[in-house]
Structure 1
Amino acid sequence: MVVRNSPLLYKWVLVCSFLMLSVLIGVLVFNTYRYKDKNFQNYQKQAIEKAYGHYIMNDKLFPGGNGIFGTQLEPYLPELVRLHEQDKVAFGAKRDTVLSSFWQELRNGNSMDTVFSQIVAQEGLDSSLQYSLQFDRLELLLPADGQWFVLYPSGEAEWPVPIAGNLAAPTENNRVLKLSVNAGHEAVYRFSYSLYVDYPNRFARVLQDMLPVFSFSIACILLLVFINYLTYRNWVDQRKEAQLKTEFLNHIRHEFNTPITTILICANSLKEQHSQLQAADVSSMGQIVERQAERLKLYFKQILDSVTIQEQQAQLELVGISGLTEELLQDISLRYADQIAIRIDPLSAERHVWVDPSLYFSILDNLVSNALKFNHRHLPAVDFQWNQEGNRLQLLVEDNGIGIEEKDQKLVFDQFYRSNQAGKTSGLGLGLYYVKTCVSRMDWDIAVGSSKSGGTIFTITINLEERSS
């Protein structure tokens, strides 16, 4: 197998390139999402940070926070410093008690709901915004060594501590600010806390904001799939056409060589043995030459017809189609003599249609020829039957031949195509292609199927709507 001509290779190349580009687009979309998620609320963040800073300019966490720090935390810090130096066990118990009470008082005494509502109204922000105020860290300065000791977080304590708000999922992307504050007189301490603000449906909003990116990405992928499909189908068609042409050339070489060789042998025998040949022998050879010459003539006609039909325009006439069909089939039956039985069921009432009699004759002639050629029965037969459905006429052409396999039925009208069933039967694969082309020239349709008897049935459909010539 030649690698460059392998359909499997092309399929894998297309699939791999599609997957690689899809992954690349996926990475770009994901990075775009991360960027948009990170910068989704820049305007709101800046407005809230500025307004919040104004509200707590001389306070802690929220208006009134200084008082809670002054009564619930700062008075206990000197004792915590002393216990840390003298009694570690008592220090731990005292720390937990102080901080637990401190957190509770911050929650009970916070005014953030009011402050946040005022900020939203003042800045003209979306009323669906939610917030969360969280205490992050608390450290105490130890005078003995001048080092900072972490009071919170410690051990397995919850961290950070939620103070106010109902935002369910605080993240780095929706943090508005993080502040660190140093305070204290008798005992110096510092703490940090964060304010988070976001929409309850942030993910959906970010995706909605990215809708143009998603749409463009999907469009690119679909376009890539479509282009790859067209490219692959075009390559397959070209490869198939090249194979058909190669097979056709090999086949036509054989088909032309046989009659030519036969004629040459007969001519050579007549030339070299004419004195010994009897009249019967000469007559027999003459018949052989005549048959082979007719065969060559038919091949040349098929080739020329298939070439010229592409530029030939239909010469349409308004003719009674049933009578014309009977007339043409009568002429055809005379040519085939007793080789095939041709039967026709005419229309009950004549219908006039636009038709090119010459093209129509070629259609009928080729169908009868095929019915005879691909038939192994003792009495080959082909039946022509008319049906009318509304504004459509259908001519059913059914033979009792070898039939056409279902897998070949969609290909039999292709140029140079010959199914495996054709076997050693002579032909160039142009007959049904010519039939299909003639049918199309007159704006008719043709389809092929299998008959109940195992033969082939062609259905020619004619639209009876008025048309001009």
Structure 2
Amino acid sequence: MKRSLVTYIGISIICFLLLATVQFILVRNTYELTNARFYFSERIAMKESYSRSIKNDKLFPGGSEIIDGFLSRHLSSLYALYKSGDPAFETYKQVFADSIFHALQQKESIRRFLNKFKQEKKVTDSLDYALIVESLSVNFDNDLYIPIYDKRKRYPLIDSAMQEEAGVRIGGSLRKVSEQNKVNGFSIRGTQGYAYRINFELHVEPYNRQSAILRQMSMTFSLSLLSILIVVTLFFVTFRNWVKQKKLSEMKSDFINNITHELHTPLATIIVANKNLQNGRILERKENIQPLTDVIQRQSERLKILIDEVLDIASTNRIVLDKKEYRLNDLLDELLLDYRLKLMDTNIELVFHKETDKDLARFDKFHFTTMLLNIFDNAVKYNSNEIKKLAVTTRADRHGDLQVLIQDNGIGISSEDLKHVFEKFYRAPDQYKMQSKGLGLGLYYVRKIIDAHGWSIRVDSKPSKGSQFIITIPHSNK
């Protein structure tokens, strides 16, 4: 069974991991698609509005004037240094670019544009943005553009706080710029007695982009998680039922093996005794007849008991109680007296402690005594000590409920077996080691009687330390 369990669990884990991987890929692809399409219609409208607002302009309304003003004042000096090959050209162009960028940064007006756009389009989201210059170059000779700034380089004389991987930040606090939040990008040439080219981009998105995407995908996440939970739950239920059925099948197989042996033994003895009774030489002496009839009587009674135990399998599910009021101490005195007579020739110490005189209770005498005898028999049967001890105690607990305690010094029960001791057909491995015969129905019958009376039972036990059965009769049941 252990090997089949490991195989079953291993296959199930592999299937679960495959399912989880497929779910993850589907959810991730859905997220990427949602991320790419997020704020798509708003960005289209914003792109049109932004393009109109900077028509014949650059970066923002008034940006072209700032750039043209700097170029008109410094272009001749830039040209002269470039033509002469003076190394100072590199220094001069960086200082020139830094001055332009700072001037643009001071006059940047994208926030006003966005506020106007939100008002016109009734957009309620708080918007963040980034206005980025990617490159700036001037034309000195024909169509040859000389780079003043390029985002692919770092310039020591341009303010490092403005330089980013995407370019020089002119305005806004949006940290992550990407194609998903890009509103528009321009590459514009200026021609006012000279030529220059500037590439810039505007990126805009709501402050809560990630949470908004997650909200949009909440149904997808929920359904994905729910499907996994359903699969895990179905696996758990199926696995648990499979283990129970497998265990029940094994217990039934053990039951069939046990009952076959148990029934066969007295039956074979009866057959042998009967054949001897048919032997003429044995019948010639009357003193030989009595022992054989005694054997038949004993084995017949044993066979009847076994048959009754088998019938209990069906009958214990339909227990009808005939409850009457009894003095529990008196009843236990009688029961234990008979049990002592039965065990007279054995090394068994049987004691009875009466710790309460409030022992009045209502119960079915037949089922109650049979239940106790089952517990007593187990205490004796599963005990390998030279002197077997059995102590019965009646007491009242702190709630005033009546309790019956049966304590033995037997082989005990492991914590794992304690979970199953009241199951039908169950026999612990230690019971097989002792080669004790039984059908695994005794404690099952005990539980059925306890439930039928509305009482409770608890077992405290440790291997090799003995066991204690505690039956609690609620005050309301007395």
Q: TM-score range by the shorter chain?
A: 0.7 to 0.9
Q: Structure 1 161/402 Cα, relative in aligned 2: closer, same or farther at 3 Å?
A: closer
Aligned partner of 1:464 in structure 2 is 475
Deviations 1:121-165 (A, max 9, x none): 555545743221111244667875x67776642762354121111
2:433 paired with 1:437? no
Structure 2 CA distance, aligned partners of 1:73 and 1:296? 118
| CA pair 168-287 structure 1, distance change in 2 beyond 3 A | same
Shift in CA distance, 25/238, structure 1 to aligned 2, threshold 3 Å: same
2:415 is equivalent to residue 417 of structure 1: no
SS in 2 for 1:416: coil
In the alignment, which of 157, 179, 194 is matched to residue 201 of structure 2?
A: 194
TM-score normalised per structure 1: 0.84
Whether 1:101 and 2:99 are equivalent positions in the alignment is yes
**Aligned pairs (5 A) from 1:241-390:** 241-272=248-279, 274-275=281-282, 281-330=288-337, 342-346=350-354, 348-377=356-385, 380-389=388-397, 390=399
Once residues 452 and 27 of structure 1 are traced to their aligned partners in structure 2, the CA distance between those partners, rounded to angstroms, is: 51
Distance 1:164 1:379, change over 3 A: closer
Residue 246 (structure 2) pairs with residue 239 (structure 1): yes
TM-align CA RMSD:
3.6
For residues 151 and 174 of structure 2, the distance between their equivalents in structure 1, rounded to whole angstroms, comes to 25
Q: Distance in 2 between matches of 1:6 and 1:452?
A: 28
Q: Shift of the alpha carbon at 1:235?
A: 0.8
**Other structure's SS at 1:198 match:** strand
Task: Tell whether the 8 Å contact from 1:137 to 1:160 is kept in structure 2 after alignment.
Answer: yes
In the alignment, the residues of structure 2 paired with residue 372 and residue 110 of structure 1 have an alpha-carbon distance, to the nearest angstrom, of 96
After TM superposition, give the deviation of residue 368 of structure 1 in Å.
Answer: 2.1
Q: Is the 8 A contact 2:137 2:148 kept in 1?
A: yes
Query: For the Cα contact (< 8 Å) 1:391–1:465, is it kept in 2?
Result: no
Which residue of the partner structure matches residue 111 of structure 1?
Answer: 109
Letter of the 1:109 counterpart: K
Within the alignment, does 1:21 sit opposite 2:19 as a pair?
A: yes
Deviation track 1:206-258 (CA, whole Å, cap 9, x = no partner) reads 44554444344333333322221111111111111111111221222222222
Q: Which runs of 5+ in 1 are unaligned?
A: none
Q: Deviations over 1:418-468 (max 9, x none)?
A: 22332222211111111112212222222222389933211112222369x
Equivalent residue for 1:133, pick from 112, 131, 134: 131
CA distance in 2, matches of 1:47, 1:322: 93
Worse-superposed segment, 238-247 or 370-379: 370-379
The answer to whether the 8 Å contact 1:444/1:461 transfers is yes
Aligned to 2:34: 36
From 221, 227, 237, the counterpart of 2:234: 227
Query: Is the CA contact 1:319–1:353 (under 8 Å) kept in the aligned structure 2?
Result: yes
1:450 aligns with 2:461: yes
Q: d(CA) in 1 for partners of 2:378 and 2:384?
A: 12
Alignment match of 1:399 (pick from 392, 396, 408): 408
SS in 2 for 1:156: coil
Inter-partner Cα distance in structure 1 for 2:326 and 2:122: 81
Paired residue type of 1:412? V
Question: Comparing 248-257 with 96-105, which one deviates more in the overlay?
Answer: 96-105
How far apart, CA to CA, are the structure 1 residues paired with 2:260 and 2:445? 21
Shift of 1:18: 1.6
Distance across 1 between alignment mates of 2:203 and 2:119: 18
For the 8 Å contact 2:104–2:170, the answer to whether it is kept is yes
* Structure 2 match to 1:65: 63
Q: 1:109 to 1:408 in 2, by over 3 A?
A: closer
Three-state SS of the structure 1 residue aligned to 2:175 is coil
1: CA distance, partners of 2:256 / 2:330: 40
Paired residue secondary structure (2:420): coil
- Over the matched positions of the two proteins, sequence identity in percent amounts to 30
Q: State the 1:267 CA deviation.
A: 2.7
Structure 1 residues 403 and 91: alpha-carbon distance in aligned structure 2, compared to 1, 3 A threshold: closer
Task: For residue 59 of structure 2, give the secondary structure of its aligned residue in structure 1.
Answer: coil
CA distance in 1, matches of 2:322, 2:312: 16
Paired residues of 2:411 and 2:464 also in contact (CA < 8 A): no
What is the CA–CA distance in structure 2 between the aligned matches of 1:242 and 1:457, rounded to whole Å? 29
Displacement after TM superposition at 1:83 (Å): 8.2
CA contact (8 A) 1:447 1:458 kept: yes
Residues 426, 440 of structure 2: 8 Å contact kept: yes
CA offsets per residue over residues 403-422 of structure 1, 9 Å max, x none? 33343222222222222332
Partners of 2:105 and 2:295 in 1: how far apart? 114
* Whole-angstrom CA distance in 2 between matches of 1:15 and 1:346: 56
Alpha-carbon distance between aligned partners in 2 of 1:154 and 1:430, rounded to the nearest angstrom: 85
Q: 1:454 and 1:288, CA in 2 relative to 1: closer, same or farther beyond 3 A?
A: farther
> Pick from 405, 410, 417: which aligns with 1:408?
417
Q: Which moved more, 1:84-93 or 1:376-385?
A: 84-93
Between the aligned partners of 1:277 and 1:425, the Cα distance in structure 2 is 39
Contact 1:451–1:457, Cα closer than 8 Å, also in 2 = no
Distance 1:464 1:44, change over 3 A: farther
Q: Residues of 1 paired with 2:410 and 2:125: CA distance?
A: 81
Structure 1 pair 150–279 and aligned structure 2 pair: CA distance change class (3 A): farther
After TM superposition, give the deviation of residue 298 of structure 1 in Å: 1.8
Q: How many angstroms does 1:58 deviate by? A: 4.1
Mapped to 1, the partners of 2:328 and 2:139 lie a distance apart of: 110
Q: Residues 86 and 342 (structure 1 numbering): CA distance in 2 closer, same or farther, change over 3 Å?
A: same
Q: Can you give the 5+ residue segments of structure 2 that lack an aligned partner in the other structure? A: 155-162
User: Which residue matches 1:181?
Assistant: 188
Question: Against the structure 1 CA distance between its residues 275 and 113, is the aligned structure 2 distance closer, same or farther, given a 3 Å change threshold?
Answer: closer
**Partner AA of 1:465 in structure 2:** S
1:142–1:149 CA contact under 8 A, matched in 2: yes
The aligned counterpart of 2:150 is: 153
Moved more, 368-377 or 221-230: 368-377
378 and 169 in structure 1: CA distance in 2 versus 1, 3 angstrom threshold: closer
